[in-house]
């Protein structure tokens, strides 16, 4: 019988894709379980994000701001995607009563566990930074290339048009990706809280029976059971 071809060490084909699919499914589950208050917060957050990014860059016309270079066609979908994802991320920070999706993962007791939305652990701070970076990148992506004073100082007017302007669509894609990752992380964290390694290790060590493999102390014989040979 021919042996299977060995896989190169250190590679796990499909594992990353499966993790991404799992995160997307968890995010979709959280969205389906959102109450009306969350959707209202998401709508308000989307409008706020669109205003913060769209008005100063003149993608949304207003008498207060203008631009020397006309708005490009891709500025509009980039702004819409940024606003929608920004609204979702903002809504995840709104505390609401426990939803049905969360209750299924916590036994239905209706109590929030540590690590839910609003927690200040390292992972949550990293996710918040991703969303903030995505919003800033979106502002620079859809803005007028010759209206950015930093770009003008570094590249000049000709450099802003020949170097900075062609890079702006790439920056727009990066901003949407960052905000999308932030939104998926926030949503998937509502229904699937990761197990803390320290807690898991402590539980395993206290639950290990005496005399088990790796234990440094021998198991004591049970009371009332005589040793062999007596």
Give the model's pLDDT for residue 178.
95
Burial bucket for residue 166 (CB in 10 Å: 0-12, 13-18, 19+): exposed
Give the model's pLDDT for residue 5.
54
Give the model's pLDDT for residue 191.
80
Nearest CA-CA partner of 168 in 105, 86, 79, 75: 75
Contact between 172 and 138 under an 8 Å Cβ cutoff? The reply is yes
Give the model's pLDDT for residue 98.
53
Give the model's pLDDT for residue 2.
53
- pLDDT range class, residue 212, cuts 50, 70, 90: very low
Burial bucket for residue 133 (CB in 10 Å: 0-12, 13-18, 19+): middle
Give the model's pLDDT for residue 42.
97
Distance between CA 85 and CA 146 in Å, rounded? 27
Which tops the pLDDT comparison, 190 or 171? 171
Distance between CA 230 and CA 228 in Å, rounded? 6
Q: What is the b/e burial string over 149-164, where b = at least 16 CB atoms within 10 angstroms of the residue's CB?
A: eebeeebeeeebeeeb
Following DSSP, what letter does each residue of 145-214 receive, concatenated?
A: TTT-HHHHHHHHHHHIIIIIHHHHHHHHHHHHHHHHHHHHHHHHHHH-PPPPHHHHHHHHHHHSPTT-TT
Dump pLDDT digits (tens) for 40-97.
999 999 999 999 999 999 999 999 999 989 999 999 999 999 999 999 999 999 887 6
Give the model's pLDDT for residue 109.
45
Dump pLDDT digits (tens) for 87-143.
999 999 988 765 444 444 444 444 444 444 444 455 677 788 888 899 999 999 999
Distance between CA 190 and CA 56 in Å, rounded? 34
Average pLDDT, the chain: 77
Distance between CA 185 and CA 116 in Å, rounded? 11
Contact between 165 and 75 under an 8 Å Cβ cutoff? The reply is no
Dump pLDDT digits (tens) for 174-188.
999 999 999 999 999
């Amino acid at each position: 019988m021919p042996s299977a071809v060995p896989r190169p060490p250190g590679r796990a084909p499909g594992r990353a894709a499966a993790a991404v699919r799992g995160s997307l499914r968890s995010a979709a589950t959280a969205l389906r379980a959102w109450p009306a208050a969350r959707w209202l917060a998401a709508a308000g957050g989307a409008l706020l994000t669109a205003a913060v990014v769209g008005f100063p860059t003149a993608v949304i016309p207003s008498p207060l701001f203008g631009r020397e270079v006309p708005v490009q066609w891709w500025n509009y979908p980039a702004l819409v995607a940024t606003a929608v994802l920004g609204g979702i991320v903002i809504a995840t920070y709104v505390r609401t009563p426990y939803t049905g999706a969360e209750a299924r993962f916590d036994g239905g007791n209706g109590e929030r566990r540590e690590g839910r939305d609003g927690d200040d652990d390292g992972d949550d701070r990293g996710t918040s930074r991703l969303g903030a970076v995505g919003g800033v990148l979106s502002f620079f992506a859809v803005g007028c290339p010759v209206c950015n004073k930093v770009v003008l100082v570094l590249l000049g007017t000709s450099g802003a048009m020949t170097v900075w302007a062609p890079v702006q669509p790439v920056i727009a894609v990066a901003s949407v990706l960052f905000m999308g990752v932030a939104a998926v992380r926030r949503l998937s964290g509502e229904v699937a809280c990761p197990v803390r390694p320290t807690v898991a290790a402590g539980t395993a060590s206290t639950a290990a029976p005496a005399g088990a493999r790796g234990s440094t102390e021998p198991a004591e014989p049970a009371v009332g059971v005589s040793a062999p040979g007596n």
